A = this chain, B = another copy of it.
Amino acid sequence: MLVASSKGIIMSDKLILENFMPYRLARLSSTVSSTIARAYDKEFGLSIPEWRVIAILGRFPGLSAVEVAEQTFLDKVAVSRAVTKLLKSGRIDREFADADRRRSILNLSEKGREVHDRVAKLALEFEKNLLDGLNESDIESFDKVMDKLLARALKP
C-alpha cells in the first residue's frame, strides 16, 4: 500500500531513506542547526553543543549537567565535552548542591549571559529569515503537525 504525497513522504514496504520521515526530520534539524552554527562559531568560537548548553541554561538556570544534556538532544559525550570547555572558559559556573559533591548545578556566568544574549539575537534573526516567505497558514499548519508528531512519538 502506498500513501503518497506530492513529493516527499511515501510510505511503501521498502525503506527509501531520503523519503523516510524520521530521516528527513534529522536532516532538516541538523541542516538548520549547522547553518546557524556557522554564524556563532565565527563570532564566538562556539560549537553546536556549546551553544545548546548556553541556550538551555539561559532559559532554565540551575539544571544539573545530566538535565542539561537531556535537553540538548545531542550525544551525551559531546555535551559533556562542551560543558567542560564552557567551565574552563568561564562561560558557565558549577556549584555543588550537596556536601558529597554528587549533584552539581550549572548556571551561566556573567560572561556566559553576555554571549547568550548576543547569540540569541543572531538566532532570532536566523529564525525570522528561515520562516520568511512562508505564509501564516503554512506556519500554523506546520506547527500543528509538529505538535501532533511529537505527541505521537512520546506516546508509550
Contacts and interface: CB of A to CB of B under 8 A. Distances in A.
Interface in A32-91: 32-33, 35-36, 52, 55-56, 58-60, 73-75, 77-78
Q: How many copies of this chain does the complex contain? A: 2
A123 B78 contact: no
A75 B73 contact: no
Interface string A88-115: 0000000000000000000000000000
A133 B152 contact: yes
Interface in A102-156: 120-121, 123-124, 126-134, 136, 138-150, 152-154
A137 to B, nearest CB: 9
A153 B6 CA distance: 21
26 contacts: A7-B144, A8-B147, A9-B143, A13-B121, A15-B58, A17-B56, A18-B59, A21-B130, A22-B36, A25-B25, A25-B29, A25-B32, A26-B29, A26-B33, A28-B29, A29-B29, A29-B30, A31-B150, A31-B153, A32-B149, A35-B154, A75-B77, A75-B78, A130-B152, A133-B148, A141-B145
